[in-house]
Structure 1
Amino acid sequence: MSSTTASPAASTGQDGHIWSVDEHLEDILGAIRPLEPIELQLPDAQGCVLTEDVTVPVALPPFDNSSMDGYAVRTADVAGASEEFPAVLTVIGDVAAGSGELLTVGPGEAARIMTGAPLPPGAEAVVPVEWTDGGTGGGPAATMRAHSASPEDASGEVRVHRPVEARAHVRARGSDVQAGDLALEAGAIVGPPQIGLLAAIGRATVMVRPRPRVVVLSTGSELVQPGEELGPGQIYDSNSYALTAAARDAGAIAYRVGAVTDDAETLRATIEDQLIRADMVVTTGGVSVGAYDVVKEALSSVGDEDEPGSGIDFRKLAMQPGKPQGFGSIGPDHTPLLALPGNPVSSYVSFELFVRPAIRALMGLKDVHRPTARATLRADKPLGSPAGKRQFLRGTYDEESGTVTPVGGAGSHLVAALALADALITVPEETTSLEPGAEVVVVLLG
Structure 2
Amino acid sequence: MEVSASVRDHFIHLVKDIFPNLTTDDPLYSVLALGSILFVAALIYIVARLIVRPQIANWVYKSNNKWDNALQKHGFFRRLMHLFPALFIYITTPVLIDNEAVMHGMVIKSAQLYMLYSGLLALYAMLSTVEDVYNASALSRRAPITGFIQVTKLAFAIITILLSISLIVDRSPLLIVSGLTAIAAVLLLIFRDTILGFVAGIQIAANRMFNTGDWIAMPKYEVDGEILEIGLTNVKVQNWDKTISTLPTYSLTTEAVKNWRGMQESGGRRIKRAIYIDVHSIKLCDNDMLERFSKIRYINDYIDKKKNELRAYHRDYSIDESDLLNSRRLTNIGTFRAYLEAYLRKHPDVNQELTLMVRQLPPNELGLPLEIYCFSAQKEWVKYEKVQADIFDHVMAMLDLFDLRAYQRDGHLSLLAHREHSAYGNSNESRSTQKDDQEKSESNQKSNDE
TMscore range, shorter length = under 0.3
Q: Which one has a larger percent helix, Structure 1 or Structure 2? A: 2
Q: Which one has a larger percent strand, Structure 1 or Structure 2? A: 1
TM-score for both structures, normalised by structure 1: 0.20
TM-score for both structures, normalised by structure 2: 0.20
Which structure has more relative contact order (CA 8 Å, sep 6+)? It is 1
Give the structure with higher Rg (CA). Answer: 2
